Amino acid sequence: MKSILDNRPGLAQEVNRVAEVAGYLWQKGWAERNGGNITVNVTGFVDDAIRRMPPISEARAIGATLPHLKGCYFYCKGTNKRMRDLARRPMENGSVIRILDDCAGYVIIADNPVAPTSELPSHLGVHNYLIGSGSPFKAAVHTHPIELIAMTHSPKFLEKDVATRVLWSMIPETKAFCPRGLGIIPYELPGSVQLGNATIRELEEYDVVMWEKHGVFAVDCDAMQAFDQIDVLNKSALIYIAAKSMGFEPDGMSDEQMQEMTAAFNLPK
């Protein structure tokens, strides 16, 4: 079967990068059953032949009008599809969609009529925000990192910047690679417009957003870099929990040590 990826190395590389990340999410235990989702803005890889491709699905409503997405194309993990399957067969467990000119709907164009993730409205709302704000970020990754989710079951970590301060203090690289920290959103219904809007608000201030008792949402230039953000934060959570399981509260880096890091790496204060 002919694929949209054939003879398009840039697009194929981007989709295969998503597949590689999907495999890591599964291996880490962060993607049970059909858990998690990934979307990538692939508009930059679209040629005239793709623009002429007929839809292979009926038009579907997004649930909002997103004006910055006019003319955009996205690769999306499929709803009810497993990350472990996407890792092996990305075009059977995901699809490429075209946003319609009304910016309120989309159609699937390749390779199979795989319905996108049920959280597509949240993802597209974020992509609309990213384009509108001039961000270079093209990828959004949502997954269920065990240790970070565990921390949200403690009320103290739901307070503003408490989790960020603890995670930064566990290992120097965390602040270096996630300098704006972790935003926290109190529990909202998965896939809801409210959750999407709250995520956009938090991304104005933070690198990664934590959905209480649910998972994390990260954006970056590609899926691998978004994964890296989450991986770094969860390593800090693992160190914190390892110390607690040994029977002590970890000291963490001091304020002076973190200020030194901030200056040395020219990080946001």
Residues whose CB falls within 8 Å of the CB of residue 46, separated by 6 or more in sequence, listed in order: 11, 73
- Do β-strands 208-211 and 182-185 pair in parallel, antiparallel, or remain unpaired? parallel
Nearest residue to 108 via CA among 75, 65, 63 = 75
Q: Which two tokens stand for residue 87?
A: 């890792």
Query: Rounded to the nearest 10 degrees, what angle do helices 223-245 and 162-170 cross at?
Result: 80
Beta carbons of 222 and 14 less than 8 angstroms apart: yes
Catalytic residue at 205? no
| Exposure string over 60-99, b if 16+ CB within 10 A, otherwise e | eebbbebebbeebbbbbbbeebbbebbbeebbebbbbbbb
Is the alpha carbon torsion for 133, 135, 138, 142 positive or negative?
negative
Beta carbons of 25 and 36 less than 8 angstroms apart: yes
Which residue out of 14, 32, 92, 119 is catalytically annotated? 119
Residues whose CB falls within 8 Å of the CB of residue 192, separated by 6 or more in sequence, listed in order: 122
Helix or strand run (H / E) with residue 97: strand 94-99
Residues acting as catalytic residues: 119
